[in-house]
Amino acid sequence: MYKQISDDISQEYYQQNFPNDGQRFVAWYLRNIHLRDLIQTRDDITDGADDKQIDAIFVDDDKATIFVIQGKFIGTSSVDAEPLREILSAWIQLRDLIRLQEVCNNKLKQKLSEVALAIEDEYEVCFELITTAALTDSARKDLATFQEQLAVLSAKDEFPATLVLVNDDEIRRRYDIALDRENPSLSHSLDLSACQTLPVKIAGTQVVVAIVPLSECIKFPGIKDGTLFQRNVRQSLGLSNAVNKGIKNTIYGDRHRDFFFFHNGITAICNKMEMKDSKLHLHGVSVVNGCQSLNTILSCSERVKKLTDTSLLFRFYEIPQRERADKISINTNSQSAVKPRDLRSNDKRVLNLKRSYEQKFPTGYFVSKRGAYSGRCGQAIPFDVGT
């Protein structure tokens, strides 16, 4: 994990927003394990002068938990008990929020108002020590002692707290779980005998450029229900959209053979892809640019099935990193500006609100992405995720 994290934090987002690898490591953990978005991650980091041994802190309303994070990103094989003592110091100071807010840095001051409300609501406090190294024998003993002390003290007062070690193996386990939770659990095998493909490696990333018949495009799962586009910043804008009308007219027109030349192509990312048994196996596949096109093509499915000489360009990227996926989604959707509220449409709180609304109103549909309603029947409530 140390090498993977080192490679990931060399990306532009981490280099431009955080001054050192220690902060970048904590930011990586927030992004990839807790699935905090770009803005939240930057706000959660409190590391620096007068951070009072708190590298990052945020409130997770879904879990009713305040997460306090201390990170140690080192390439050596072991780490001593110093970070554990820092966490103990942070715990003591959090018990007196008034005093802590007087002496801490500005970033932590701003976060403490949110923390105070969460404590009033009896949220649990979870201290996470994240490190790429193993604890020494003495540090492991200290960890067991601190965990026992926290359990005893939490039972005596109204400040329940736990201490969790997240080391290299645990980071890997949580990383894999987060990938399954965040990415669409869609897999698809593309028949290579029907396509022309060019597998290449660009910037250390596996890429497959493919010319795919339209008849193969409609076989992708998750087009109709939108799950194929979960990583996209918005859903279909409907067939009445001018561009989609043009796509449809080309499919039904006498120049359908030129469809490949008229279209910019589809961009899809996946956690893993492999060429095997004359198929391209895509795991955790998601289309980040091409939602409008694939929905329109699917709406012409019967016509498309008969077009044996009409193709579309696909670009498949093997990219499990969330930051790169977000940036690709933004930069490949340049035909109309992507706004901050579009990024918020994938926020966990928005998704939770959407889920709660649709459970309460089974015939309703909570619109969190531009174009997602598209003439659906039933009751709908639009929600501006930028507010």
Three-class SS state of 67: strand
| Cβ pair 3, 13 in contact under 8 A | no
Percent of the chain with pLDDT over 70: 79
What is the mean pLDDT of the segment spanning 60-79?
A: 82
Percent of the chain with pLDDT over 90: 21
What is the mean pLDDT of the segment spanning 52-60?
A: 89
Cβ density class 73-83: b for 16+ within 10 Å, e for less: beeeeebebeb
What is the mean pLDDT of the segment spanning 43-56?
A: 88
Three-class SS state of 284: coil
**pLDDT over 90 at 266, yes or no:** yes
What pLDDT, in 10s, does the model give residues 174-217?
887 776 665 556 889 999 999 999 999 998 899 999 999 999 99
pLDDT of residue 223: 85
What is the mean pLDDT of the segment spanning 235-242?
A: 60
What pLDDT, in 10s, does the model give residues 285-306?
989 888 889 988 888 888 888 8
Calculate ∠ Cα 54-60-63, nearest 5°: 125
pLDDT tier at 346 (50, 70, 90 boundaries)?
A: low
Q: Is 65 exposed, middle or buried (0-12, 13-18, 19+ CB in 10 A)?
A: middle
What pLDDT, in 10s, does the model give residues 88-103?
888 888 888 889 888 9
Q: Is 119 exposed, middle or buried (0-12, 13-18, 19+ CB in 10 A)?
A: buried
Least confident of 66-70, 143-147, 183-187, 264-268: 183-187
pLDDT of residue 383: 45
Higher pLDDT, 46 or 151: 46
Statement: the pTM of the whole predicted model exceeds 0.75: no
